Amino acid sequence: MELLFERRRILLLFLALTSTVLLTIITPYYYYRKSHVQYVLWETSTSTSTSVSPSVSPESVHPRKIAGSGRMCNAFSGEWVPNPNAPYYTNESCWAIHEHQNCRKYGRPDAEFLKWRWKPNDCELPLFNAAQFLEILRGKSLAFVGDSVARNHMQSLMCFLNRVTYPVDVSHTSDEKYTRWSYTSHSFTLAFFLSQFLVKAVEADQNGPTNTGLFNLLLDEPDGWSTQISEFDYVIVSAGHWFFRPMIFSEKKQVVGCHFCLRENIKDLTKYYGFRMAFRTAFKALNGLNGFKGVIFLRTFAPSHFEGGDWNNGGNCLRRMPLRNNETRLDGFNLELYMIQMEEFRRAEKEGRERGMKYRLMDITEAMLLRPDGHPSIYGHWPNENVTLYNDCVHWCLPGPIDTFNDFLLHMLMMERRGRTADSISGRVY
Ligand SMILES: *[C@@H]1O[C@H](CO)[C@@H](O)[C@H](O)[C@H]1NC(C)=O
Ligand SMILES: *[C@@H]1O[C@H](CO)[C@@H](O)[C@H](O)[C@H]1NC(C)=O
Ligand SMILES: *[C@@H]1O[C@H](CO)[C@@H](O)[C@H](O)[C@H]1NC(C)=O
């Protein structure tokens, strides 16, 4: 008996040692904690060869497996570089594209905006690989919580996955707010919880002071998604664009203030207050979930690009090329919203750490700030259609730059998987 134990210990120790050695050799990805924010980093290679060459399809592109110079790389800081092979799906091959983001169908004439990929400054971000993604998520579930930009992201993901397999609709309700898809070949469940404000909100007035509605937000009450989320393995949370509308804020069922409600007896606390509290409440709800073993991704704010006016008074997005890193910088409300997200993310991560919660930052703000060319603008509907849609400089054409969210997602999931392996090894041995 004792001998058996001894043998097992030696075996475990041996396994641990070899795995550790193997992991250090083959794992090009590391998390690096810097002032409590986790950046996605991986080792860089001294070689300048990219993982994308004209003859290689994205399905066959594999992440760099061999450690290079050992320097760390922030994957979210970089430039857009030409990629003649993109896009990897079309409006014909993908039925999941939301009408309003089907820019090709509605006559967007230029295709240049499709032909770019994200290049981190000191490393490569491999392109999405549907087969690999589905393999990693075999038997798992992933949920998007957020507004229509979150749905935009999910539909990009579905278009990629279409290359391998089709899902079946397994929604629990006919309400389009909450949809679920099952990729039965891989027992992978994908879900979308529409929640523009993350917290409970009702439209109190369809018009409001700016004719864009007036919303009552219960800033300390998470929206319906929170009761259905604990079963998911991965949750991607995002929000932002709805906080520009007039809102009245309540806490403990009492009105505490508003954003641009123009009511004499209510203090204007600004959109930033509502935005901050909504994220705080959403993260608190996640940290309070019983039995939740998942990973929480914050997908940071993706800037809109209205020029020549605001979204509701003639602003439009007419650029046809990405910006260079040195041509713009994050400022104004984009910066403010981004900083608030960072602060609330750090706070939630700190609070959640004791409970074993895993928070990861999908920090796409810089990359998307550089893509004023990627929005539908007027190409979200037929020109002769009598609709009251504004120029859309918020959502992203599909295919389009938002496809890059899935490059990031796959690589964060791969790191996650490697991290977990390491955890379970050390967990068993020590
Ligand atoms: C796809 O876009 C093309 C224009 O590039 C258009 O002619 C076609 O009708 C569109 N198809 C669908 C299914 O949206
Ligand atoms: C930005 O950088 C590029 C490449 O380094 C350079 O050609 C360009 O002149 C720079 N633009 C500005 C506005 O500094
Ligand atoms: C378009 O919609 C507006 C407002 O709903 C209506 O007054 C107008 O008659 C419509 N025009 C056409 C051509 O249908």
| 3-state DSSP assignment of residue 105 | coil
Specify the pairing of strand 199-205 against strand 178-183: unpaired
Looking at all shown ligands, the one closest to residue 325's CA atom is: 2
Q: How far away, in angstroms, is 115 Cα from ligand 2 center?
A: 20
Q: Helix axis angle, 404-429 relative to 2-26, nearest 10°?
A: 150
pLDDT for the residue 312: 80
Q: What tens-digit pLDDT sequence spans the chain (430 residues)?
A: 444 555 666 555 555 555 554 444 443 333 333 322 333 444 333 233 333 333 333 322 223 322 334 457 899 999 999 999 999 999 999 999 999 999 999 999 999 999 999 999 999 999 999 999 999 999 999 999 999 999 999 999 999 999 999 999 999 988 889 999 999 999 999 999 999 999 999 999 988 888 888 999 999 999 999 999 999 999 999 999 999 999 999 999 999 999 999 999 999 999 999 999 999 999 999 999 998 999 999 999 999 999 999 888 889 999 999 999 999 999 999 999 999 999 999 999 999 998 999 999 999 999 999 999 999 999 998 877 766 668 999 999 999 999 999 999 999 999 888 775 443 333 222 1
Distances (CA, A) of 357 to 33, 289, 294, 353: 16, 10, 8, 5
Query: Is the model's pTM score more than 0.85?
Result: no
Q: Do the beta carbons of residue 200 and residue 221 sit within 8 Å?
A: yes
pLDDT for the residue 127: 96
pLDDT for the residue 413: 95
CA distance 323 to 346: 29
At 40-67, the pLDDT tens digits run: 444 333 233 333 333 333 322 223 322 3
Q: How many domains does the chain have?
A: 1
CA distance 22 to 65: 11
Give the amino acid at 182.
S
CA distance 235 to 228: 11
In this structure, what token pair is assigned to residue 122?
């000191």
- Give 362-392 as a DSSP string: E--HHHHHT-GGGS-BTTTS-TT----PPPB
CA distance 76 to 205: 39
Q: How far away, in angstroms, is 199 Cα from ligand 3 center?
A: 35
Residue among 315, 304, 301, 299 nearest 374 (CA): 304
Helix (H) or strand (E) holding 76: none
Q: How far away, in angstroms, is 389 Cα from ligand 3 center?
A: 13
Looking at all shown ligands, the one closest to residue 328's CA atom is: 2
CA distance 56 to 59: 8
Question: What DSSP state is assigned to residue 268?
Answer: B
| 3-state DSSP assignment of residue 402 | helix
CA distance 290 to 344: 21
Q: Which domain holds residue 406?
A: 2-429
In this structure, what token pair is assigned to residue 404?
């890059």
- Give 230-256 as a DSSP string: TT-SEEEE---GGGGS-EEEEETTEEE
In this structure, what token pair is assigned to residue 21?
């050695």
Length reported for the chain: 430
CATH code: domain of residue 236: 3.40.50.1110
Cα–Cα–Cα angle for 375, 242, 379, nearest 5°?
Answer: 25
Strand ranges (E), 35-135: 37-42, 78-82, 116-120
Residue 156 known to be catalytic: no
Q: How many CA atoms lie within 13 A of 293 on its CB side?
A: 4
Residue 110 known to be catalytic: no
Residue 62 known to be catalytic: no
Q: Is 102 in the pocket of ligand 1 (CB under 6 A)?
A: yes
Give the amino acid at 389.
L
Q: Do the beta carbons of residue 233 and residue 140 sit within 8 Å?
A: yes
CA distance 199 to 219: 6
Looking at all shown ligands, the one closest to residue 329's CA atom is: 2
Q: Which residues pair with 78 in a beta bridge?
A: 120
Q: Is 104 in the pocket of ligand 1 (CB under 6 A)?
A: yes
* Lining residues, ligand 2, CB within 6 Å: 324, 326-327
